[in-house]
Chain A
Amino acid sequence: MGGDTLLLLMRLRTVIALVVVLAFFSAAAPNFLSSANMVLMLKHVALNAILAIGLTYVIVAGGIDLSVGSVAGLTGMVAGFLMLNGVPVGSDTLVRFNLFEIILIVLALGVAIGLLNGLLVARLKVAPFIATLGTLYVVRGAALLSSDGRTFPDLVGDAYYGTSGFPVIGGGYLIGLPVSVWILAVIAAIAAYVTLRTPLGRQIYAVGGNAVAAALSGIRVGRVLIVTYMVSGFCAAVVGLIIASELQAAHPATGETFELNAIAAAVLGGASMSGGRGTILGTLVGAAVIGVLGDGMVMMGVSAFWQMVIKGLVIIAAVLLDGAQARLQHRVAIRRAAAMA
């Protein structure tokens, strides 16, 4: 039964890694366990985790979405623009939007960019890496163009236009926890429910596991792929909103390289780049490892250069362990099958 115990340990490797990292920094860095620091870390983790949840959908379906950081940037800019300006309709009317409308518009924009990614991949058959690399640039360019490279400052909101609640999204607290963490909790709960318990979730895993077999089973593969990119775009827009709200400013460079951390979180959490494998819970733990590792190293005064090296090594180690687990799992399964026969 040694194989089974080992397999269990391997399955829990990300959780073990999280415990180890937490224990290490608690011992090594004073104040690490303080509630203020924990809340701060949770906020950092929340942003990456929300992006990573969207990416998990895409990755499980066998794709990749490199555009999420840019989408977060552009949606933040659009939120900032709409907070400060009205949109001209016709020749002399200027329509101002209230907070609720702004949130809807921004989220819809994220979903629309996801739809575009999905159409490129599923209908026009562009390789996901290339399609989303393209939108990464296009969307980032659009963010810069939207303000000519400048920041939209002072997004404090205005009661007259019904936007005064804006800073709450990224800066407010609810029962002692940041609002962004609650947003993560809601998104994670829905995302997990969909993957585990709905036909759509099952179909996403099937498409990532074997798209041809899925199609022959009557699953509309293209539609499933498009949905995953839309989910990813939605999550990116949520992150864009949270950041603009927290900083009370929208900067066009916001979100650069965010996609890399999000991919790292999904992969650490067990998502397979070849599709078919990955879980929301795993991704959450993966995002926590990345976040704790990053913040812990900052607190210990580890240089930013070394931080990158260490983060890279952790990702490679995770993938190596993942491969080892798959081999072990296969061996155990074969042994069981043999024992039965």
Chain B
Amino acid sequence: MTAPAPRMRAERVSKLYPGVQALDAVDFEIHAGAVNVLIGENGAGKSTLMKIIAGVEQPSAGRLLLDGAEVSFADPAAAARQGVCMVFQELSLFANLSIAENIFIGRERCRLGIDIDQGSEIARAREVLARLRHPLDPRALVSSLTIGQQQIVEIARALAQDARVLILDEPTSALSSAEAETLFGVIAELKERGVAIVYISHRLEELKRIGDHVTVLRDGRLVATAEMREVDVPWIVRQMIGRDAPARADCARGVPGDEVLRVTDMLLPRERGGFVVDHVSLSVRSGEIVGIYGLLGAGRTELLESIMGCRRDATGSVAVAGTDVSRLDVSGRVAAGVALVPEDRRHSGFVGTFSVARNLTLASLRRFTRLFHLDPAREASAVTASTSDLAIKAAGPDTPVTTLSGGNQQKVVIGKALLTKPRVLLLDEPTRGVDVGAKTEQYRLIRRLADEGLGVLFATSELDELTALADRVLVMREGVIALDLPCDDADHDSITAAANPRAEAA
């Protein structure tokens, strides 16, 4: 049931930021009762376009039409009043408030305009949640919910405002497969009710599955629109990056060397009983890339953090190149040759107030110290060496790291780790927030590092990444290593089967 005229239209919308043309005369149609997919690499202008449609930003030129009439939204609240709601990429919920309080935040229902009518808010929240087939208790604190449930609350917040246009910006990036399935169910239902859904995601397979219309942006320009059923994934990739997807890195050619990491019986207790990491033993050899796959909450990140020494209550032994480091703290393990490139760069990867150069040398300051003080010349030469070695694109070493693209920021964090001369490199979601085009470059870099003798252990929630990069595949499920396969034997079906919790007997 495709409506003849679109519910909403953006006509020749442009957005200029200081020195950057984020959008250049883009047309975009949003059809009712359909999933309108918007796709493009990072920086292509997807988020900017959505922010303009949702009233977060104002267009520099062009106009918006809602049901054929021109509209302009001064702020997100104005857009919401007209039924245009956006669920942001980073969840914008208040963890310290209840579900109902979150749903009505900023537009509380009041009795006589004075005190909050909690009863009515809770009833309405319960009604919306029921519509989403998620009968959560509206009085529950958001902090007690899983990420998937929080996403549902975000959508409930939009629905409680009678959203007619619902924008979902990378809604599955933090969800497990099972949670994503639930979300797709919710989306299908909203579609049937005639809600116009705008869907942004990097996950091409998922777009292919749920999308109806597809619009591709590149460098702030509209490059293609099509019906999803008429196109395939290679077509989308071609439109996005302007060429075919490069061949993925293959399995290791060389023979792995000596063992550089051995983890024995790693155990990390969960707060409320049980184990996040449950008796995990593994080993990584020099030159080998081992990939850990698992759903959200499988314990991948926690395992890497335990190996790094960040988790104080983790037990079990860790040996680096034969030397036991179990008793050392993070600092000691860095010195012993372990380095972790964390999942969330901004939060734990780089220091945002520092330049590229200062971030690069942060973990290896001792190497540049002469007597008491840092030797600027030695530091500078190390920085030059790693920026050229890793091909970090920055205006200069003193550029603030926050102005770099995601891929280049990631290279800075990797470069920082490499300057500690590690034997083992731990990578958590190595290409999260990195462009499709730049992903291949990251893979090649990681492969090269392994060829140079590094042992690599990386965690991922993307099957493609696992098969593109890993020589050996470990599948984690509920804290346990459920499967250990060489790359050649790893197929998507067996990996997925091992990753998903076994159906429990009724």
A residues with a Cβ closer than 8 A to B are 193, 197-199, 202-203, 205-206, 208-210, 212-220, 276-277, 331, 333-341
Q: Chain A contacts of B342 at CB under 8 A?
A: 213, 216
Report yes or no: A217 in contact with B416, Cβ–Cβ below 8 A. Answer: yes
| Cα-based distance from A318 to B185 in the complex (angstroms) | 53
Report yes or no: B19 in contact with A212, Cβ–Cβ below 8 A. Answer: no
Q: How many residues of B contact A (CB 8 A)?
A: 41
Report yes or no: B365 in contact with A209, Cβ–Cβ below 8 A. Answer: no
Instruction: Please give the distance in Å from A214's CB to the nearest CB on chain B.
Output: 7
Instruction: Please give the distance in Å from A4's CB to the nearest CB on chain B.
Output: 13
**With an 8 A cutoff between CB atoms, is B18 at the interface?**
yes
Instruction: Please give the distance in Å from B331's CB to the nearest CB on chain A.
Output: 4
Q: Which of B19, B366, B393 contacts A339 (CB 8 A)?
A: B19
B window 325-347: CB within 8 A of A: 329-331, 333-335, 340, 342, 347
Report yes or no: A220 in contact with B362, Cβ–Cβ below 8 A. Answer: no
| Cα-based distance from A152 to B334 in the complex (angstroms) | 53
Q: Chain B contacts of A208 at CB under 8 A?
A: 353
| Cα-based distance from A170 to B190 in the complex (angstroms) | 77
21 A-B residue pairs with CB within 8 Å: A193-B373, A197-B372, A198-B373, A198-B374, A202-B358, A202-B365, A202-B374, A209-B353, A210-B347, A213-B350, A214-B351, A214-B362, A216-B342, A218-B333, A219-B363, A333-B400, A334-B20, A336-B395, A337-B394, A338-B20, A340-B394
Q: Which of B331, B349, B394, B404 contacts A213 (CB 8 A)?
A: B349
| Cα-based distance from A220 to B329 in the complex (angstroms) | 9
Q: Chain A contacts of B358 at CB under 8 A?
A: 202, 205-206
| Cα-based distance from A52 to B365 in the complex (angstroms) | 27
Q: Chain B contacts of A336 at CB under 8 A?
A: 395, 399, 403
Q: Which of B20, B331, B353, B393 contacts A219 (CB 8 A)?
A: B331
Q: Chain A contacts of B329 at CB under 8 A?
A: 220
| Cα-based distance from A198 to B374 in the complex (angstroms) | 5
B window 1-59: CB within 8 A of A: 17-20
| Cα-based distance from A209 to B394 in the complex (angstroms) | 20
Report yes or no: B353 in contact with A277, Cβ–Cβ below 8 A. Answer: yes
Q: Chain B contacts of A331 at CB under 8 A?
A: 18
Report yes or no: B353 in contact with A218, Cβ–Cβ below 8 A. Answer: no
Q: Chain A contacts of B402 at CB under 8 A?
A: 333
Report yes or no: B374 in contact with A216, Cβ–Cβ below 8 A. Answer: no
Report yes or no: A333 in contact with B403, Cβ–Cβ below 8 A. Answer: yes
Q: Chain A contacts of B461 at CB under 8 A?
A: none
Q: Which of B330, B351, B374, B393 contacts A209 (CB 8 A)?
A: B351
Known pairs A218-B331, A334-B17, A340-B395; A276 contacts B403 (CB<8 A): no
**With an 8 A cutoff between CB atoms, is B146 at the interface?**
no
**With an 8 A cutoff between CB atoms, is B352 at the interface?**
yes
Q: Chain A contacts of B348 at CB under 8 A?
A: 210, 212-213, 216
Q: Chain B contacts of A337 at CB under 8 A?
A: 394-395, 399, 403-404
Instruction: Please give the distance in Å from A155's CB to the nearest CB on chain B.
Output: 36
Q: Which of A193, A202, A209 contacts B352 (CB 8 A)?
A: A209
20 A-B pairs besides A198-B373, A209-B352 with CB distance below 8 A are: A197-B372, A199-B369, A202-B358, A202-B362, A205-B353, A206-B358, A216-B340, A217-B416, A218-B333, A218-B334, A219-B331, A220-B329, A333-B402, A334-B20, A335-B20, A337-B394, A337-B403, A338-B20, A339-B19, A340-B394
**With an 8 A cutoff between CB atoms, is B310 at the interface?**
yes
Report yes or no: A338 in contact with B19, Cβ–Cβ below 8 A. Answer: yes
**With an 8 A cutoff between CB atoms, is B420 at the interface?**
yes
Instruction: Please give the distance in Å from A323's CB to the nearest CB on chain B.
Output: 15
Q: Chain B contacts of A340 at CB under 8 A?
A: 393-395
**With an 8 A cutoff between CB atoms, is B308 at the interface?**
yes
Known pairs A331-B18, A334-B18, A337-B403; A203 contacts B365 (CB<8 A): yes
Q: Chain B contacts of A217 at CB under 8 A?
A: 334, 362-363, 416
Q: Which of A193, A218, A220, A276 contacts B351 (CB 8 A)?
A: A276
**With an 8 A cutoff between CB atoms, is B104 at the interface?**
no
Instruction: Please give the distance in Å from A23's CB to the nearest CB on chain B.
Output: 33
**With an 8 A cutoff between CB atoms, is B88 at the interface?**
no
Q: Which of B19, B349, B363 contacts A218 (CB 8 A)?
A: B363
Instruction: Please give the distance in Å from B304's CB to the nearest CB on chain A.
Output: 11
Q: Chain A contacts of B400 at CB under 8 A?
A: 333
Report yes or no: A198 in contact with B372, Cβ–Cβ below 8 A. Answer: yes
| Cα-based distance from A212 to B346 in the complex (angstroms) | 10
**With an 8 A cutoff between CB atoms, is B184 at the interface?**
no
**With an 8 A cutoff between CB atoms, is B275 at the interface?**
no
Report yes or no: B399 in contact with A216, Cβ–Cβ below 8 A. Answer: no
Q: Chain A contacts of B349 at CB under 8 A?
A: 213, 216
| Cα-based distance from A208 to B353 in the complex (angstroms) | 9
Q: Chain A CB within 10 Å — which of B393, B400, B416 has the most?
A: B400
Instruction: Please give the distance in Å from B424's CB to the nearest CB on chain A.
Output: 14
Nearest B residue to A222 by beta-carbon distance? B329
| Cα-based distance from A341 to B219 in the complex (angstroms) | 12
| Cα-based distance from A199 to B365 in the complex (angstroms) | 6
Q: Chain B CB within 10 Å — which of A205, A210, A276 has the most?
A: A210
Q: Chain B contacts of A210 at CB under 8 A?
A: 347-348, 350-353
| Cα-based distance from A338 to B330 in the complex (angstroms) | 37
